[in-house]
Amino acid sequence: MSDTKVATILKQLGAEMEQGVNLGQIEDYSRHFDFSDRDRDGRHSKKEYIQNSRHLTLQARQGVFNASDNDGDGFVTKTEYILNRIITDEAKRIVQAMDEDKDGFVQRSEFIKAAMMDKELAAQVFVTLDTDGNGTLIIPEYLKVWGKWARSGRFPAEKRISELQVELRKSGTTGTPVRSQGFTGRPGVPPYGRPGLVVHLLQYDTNGDGRIEPRELLGLIHRADLNKDGVLDREEMEAIDPPAQGRKRPSDRP
């Protein structure tokens, strides 16, 4: 696809990329980077991030590293890391909001229904994101294509992030931004869903008694366990989304 068409598709899906974050979020990503930058040289090597890291699986770390290494030099700088977190965190929020039955997978019908107004284009986009052609999207799968689209025809990470920081400092935008609704039907949400976590958890109150029992949390764990290793690490917990306004709990759906 051409750069222009890719940019149009991302916009219709509701993607804002770096224009949808603030200084607080950038600083948070920066702290995450510094935590993994053991030798404090301002970049992640493959050994440092892939071999020595403890979060996610080895395969997932390899995928994150390769996606972040924007210039392909074998190292991930802080700005490359920040840009990749901005792109992937937003992509997860947008696509996982389409998971209507909360089973941790986005089916073709779910995507076409929620993705954009042009259903024919939505079907074409799904085929492109569904790289294994099984009619279902999982996070590592669609992020490969989404990440390429989000970088296609754009400036390198250093320029994108540095210019954004200058712009935000000038405008004084330091707090939590209000995200645009886009075509996904999602109202504006803050990063990581912290303020909406209680409401989000209550979606899993399947018997409607206002309390969360261990068995009811299995649905949340299954959905939030992005790498399907049976546990939730820090990044997976941070990626938990708040619910859209008016979304019904599982017990409310037939």
DSSP symbol at 240 = P
The count of domains in the chain is 1
Q: Is residue 27 part of a domain?
A: yes
Which structural domain range is residue 35 located in? 3-171+179-186
State the pLDDT at residue 70. 83
The two beta strands, 75-77 and 106-107, are: unpaired
Q: Is residue 98 part of a domain?
A: yes
Spatial contact of 237 and 197, defined as CB atoms under 8 Å apart: no
Spatial contact of 50 and 106, defined as CB atoms under 8 Å apart: no
For the residues 83-100, what does the mean pLDDT come to?
94
Q: Is residue 192 part of a domain?
A: no
Is the pTM higher than 0.75?
no
Residue entry with tokens 């019904």: 248
State the pLDDT at residue 210. 62
State the pLDDT at residue 130. 97
Instruction: Read off the CATH number of the domain in which 41 is found.
Output: 1.10.238.10
- Whether the pLDDT of residue 55 is over 80: the answer is no
The H or E element spanning position 38 is none
90: confidence class by pLDDT, cuts 50, 70, 90: very high
173: confidence class by pLDDT, cuts 50, 70, 90: low
What's the Cα-to-Cα distance from 12 to each of 9, 141, 254, rounded to whole Å?
Answer: 5, 20, 30
Provide the 3-class DSSP secondary structure of residue 76.
Answer: strand
What distance in Å separates the CA atoms of residue 3 and residue 44, rounded to the nearest whole number?
29
Q: Is residue 253 part of a domain?
A: no
Q: Which of 40-54, 70-84, 139-153 has the lowest mean pLDDT?
A: 40-54
Q: Which two tokens stand for residue 92?
A: 């997860």
3-state secondary structure 167-232: HHHHHCCCCCCCCCCCCCCCCCCCHHHCCCHHHHHHCCCCCCCCCCCHHHHHHHHHHHCCCCCCCC
What's the Cα-to-Cα distance from 20 to each of 15, 51, 68, 118, 168, rounded to whole Å?
Answer: 8, 32, 19, 23, 11
241: confidence class by pLDDT, cuts 50, 70, 90: low
197-237 pLDDT tens trace: 555 566 666 666 666 777 777 777 777 777 777 777 777 77
Q: Is residue 221 part of a domain?
A: no
Nearest to 28 by CA among 77, 94, 81: 81
The H or E element spanning position 135 is none
Average pLDDT, the chain: 80
Q: Is residue 230 part of a domain?
A: no
State the pLDDT at residue 209. 63
Q: Which of 75-79, 110-114, 136-140, 250-254 has the lowest mean pLDDT?
A: 250-254
Q: Is residue 37 part of a domain?
A: yes
Q: Is residue 158 part of a domain?
A: yes
For residue 246, the tally of other CB atoms under 10 A from its CB is 7
Number of residues that make up the chain: 254
What distance in Å separates the CA atoms of residue 48 and residue 45, rounded to the nearest whole number?
5
Nearest to 242 by CA among 226, 220, 217: 220
State the pLDDT at residue 180. 36
Spatial contact of 25 and 191, defined as CB atoms under 8 Å apart: yes
